[in-house]
Structure 1
């Protein structure tokens, strides 16, 4: 075992931007806590200033909705999703651990593996690929470079930043928030000036399922976009000092950062879609902005970075949560390599693939988020004295895993996707896509019925609860579990 660092009172990592983050999925000790709640606004504002949200706005015309109905649907979905993100982000301030590690509380140490493997690793890689595709498409419209080269450049930048980690991401997101605000403001003004405008309901639209079903489906798309961030929400707030004021303000700034951008760009996307003759989103943006296309395409390209810094970093944390014997640098490299390969495969038909991917992740994430929220509040997971439980391998499986599984299974008949449409959704398309809400409700009911029961699967033969396999950890606090994996550069 390595010796503890000298007690100098100085943090090992602190607020250093150019130092590689030494922590992986460990609890962040109080001596390393730093930053201000306002940082959460910039992180989520920049991360959501990206073209996929405009892409979702295109769905309004496909569903045949009028402009007024589209705006209220976008606003409702964005508001509910932003509130969810606000609540989950404040959990990081309190507990000082990533969201995926928090899930070990209600699901169990190994019960958490399945949802994390699918929800977080799959989603992290998938989102990184989708964003690289859209960013590279914009880049190739802007400058004459082959797709594979543009995608490689974007992926390489994301890899380097994600390796440096938390502080570097926060620093760059603050810078990109300002840059992207200007670029997307110009894009919005140009698009409206050059013809983007309101539109009427169109029952002849290819995706028309009625005004109610269409409204529910569009609201669900924007809700699901923010739900996809939920498993990573605490990852970017866990270094903030734990206080009631910081917890409260973190929720406020997180909610605002998510809502403002998602609502704004969603409405702009709907306006653009209602005024173009092409179904290719990037080409539509280029067509509408005409001679002013450069700032619009530049905004899309840069926004691929602001979003993927979080996707890649969060995905790497997920890989480590699964106890795969790699360090964070290696995990980041693996995720970037897979995302790059997928981006080359998925460069065509992006819009359809994006919606399928969005749905199939949200169906699994919504019940996951419901279980985490209930466990934090009703299961008293907010008690910092219970943090050691999150690193206790003796807690193999907990009832929350069954609640999550029940939520997913109950939602299947309601799935509404090009990949699979459930029996209820097939019989009643006019209801729209309500699978998210069914899954969350089912998971909540099962959790409420079981959370007071004895542990579902504890080990009969006890072993040391705290993990410390590498023997290397900076500033390990006494009495708090760690999860350092097998490599010393975590």
Structure 2
């Protein structure tokens, strides 16, 4: 059983919970915590770059901003629906995939999620490292990257409470920093010129939609990790709306700023995104503060990636070993390994960051939209929010070791997107027929959702009522 002393230690020191269910006496917080966390996670330079990409690759500023808004609004719905599962289940996001894919079958999307964490951590570390180097006035790329990774490691190892605390700080400082940069942008550049003679082009417009939707959808595999400590009585609608508001508002503000910057700065921004933003500041001291804010902005989402990567590794490991949790030492070891790998990728990716990042985001859409479609369809429509929690840890239980229905649907959901892709290395035949418009993410959501619902509804695995673990403290 959990004692008061245990709870006090967990609240002040290293988090001891991993993939086990959070017991009632350790639940805390309000839905508003999701707003500050996801606002802070999105008010950061990578989101600015993501918005800039819409203009860099051909869209005019006005239509880029409209497309980004539509993508954020649509993708944010999927992301926030995942968040609403957290208080109900008290579990990290990806372990709930065992209810659809089976205890062993869930390893398939889990491996891909870890690859996502590595990619996003690496690309974000490139920019954070540049900001630290500007702040310290050093030229060696590895210096900033190593310092940033070390700070991320400490926060991710301590866990949940520190991550939320960083999110609260980043949300406030992010608003102040982005507001200051926006004022300086208007003062120093003719922003109005970016909105003159804007022409609508369906191909670049849909690219903007896809970039924003992809940004939101890639939060899906770990968003419930940060709502699972909320009391079980927390209304799911409150969790949904606070998460949705924070993520959509934060990302849209950053991406709008990025689109305008790309429109007025052109190649000057492309060559040195961090340095250009620092150059907007009036004076060396203020520029230093801007670089510091850029680093703080990256801390939140990078900590989410490092923390979430451990959750995925723990889910894979416990599926094989039959355990229900892993210790804090295992968390520290895996976080350090993951961040070390990300450092190597960061040094490789920095030479051609923008193009690599665009292709990375669009590729992630291909593998994660079917997962989201299956998870949400099962949880809300087939199982109707009823989960057998003990069976999630038992390959002989209700959900089995492998679920052919989910795995087959997932494979179809990935493959069916190929003809609709518009990637650097491959353009599908349907994409060419659509004039180059990439709608693969829409196909990847709709087809698996319909296919899984029709197939899984014939033999639902859900219990009649939610089945709780008899002892959530093992």
* TM-score of the aligned structures, taking structure 2 as reference length: 0.88
In the alignment, is residue 248 of structure 1 matched against residue 237 of structure 2? yes
Any stretches of 5+ residues in structure 1 without a counterpart?
Answer: 457-476, 485-490
Residue in structure 1 matched with residue 274 of structure 2 by the alignment: 282
Residue in structure 1 matched with residue 464 of structure 2 by the alignment: none
How is 1:140-289 mapped onto 2 (pairs within 5 angstroms)?
140-145=133-138, 146-195=140-189, 197-198=191-192, 199-200=194-195, 211-243=201-233, 245-276=234-265, 277-278=267-268, 279-280=270-271, 281-289=273-281
Q: Deviations over 1:178-212 (max 9, x none)?
A: 22222222112112221161425889xxxx9x701
RMSD: 2.4
Partner Cα distance (1:102, 1:153) in 2: 34
Partner Cα distance (2:378, 2:5) in 1: 32
Partner Cα distance (1:176, 1:314) in 2: 19
| 2:104–2:402 CA contact under 8 A, matched in 1 | yes
More helix by share: 2
In the alignment, is residue 389 of structure 1 matched against residue 404 of structure 2? no
Partner Cα distance (2:5, 2:380) in 1: 31
Shift in Å, 1:430: 2.3
Q: Deviations over 1:281-333 (max 9, x none)?
A: 33443455564543433322221212111010011111111117872221111
How is 1:81-160 mapped onto 2 (pairs within 5 angstroms)?
81-118=75-112, 120-145=113-138, 146-160=140-154
Shift in Å, 1:423: 3.1
Change (3 A) 1:166 1:381: farther
| 2:125–2:343 CA contact under 8 A, matched in 1 | yes
Shift in Å, 1:176: 2.3
Change (3 A) 1:63 1:30: same
Change (3 A) 1:345 1:144: same
Q: Which of these residues, 54, 74, 82, is aligned with residue 80 of structure 1? A: 74
| 1:64–1:202 CA contact under 8 A, matched in 2 | no
Partner Cα distance (1:431, 1:421) in 2: 8
Equivalent pairs, count:
448
Residue in structure 2 matched with residue 460 of structure 1 by the alignment: none
| 1:43–1:174 CA contact under 8 A, matched in 2 | yes
| 1:42–1:177 CA contact under 8 A, matched in 2 | yes
Q: Which of these residues, 436, 452, 457, is aligned with residue 457 of structure 2? A: 452
In the alignment, is residue 19 of structure 1 matched against residue 13 of structure 2? yes
Partner Cα distance (1:104, 1:201) in 2: 52
Shift in Å, 1:422: 2.6
Residue in structure 2 matched with residue 433 of structure 1 by the alignment: 438
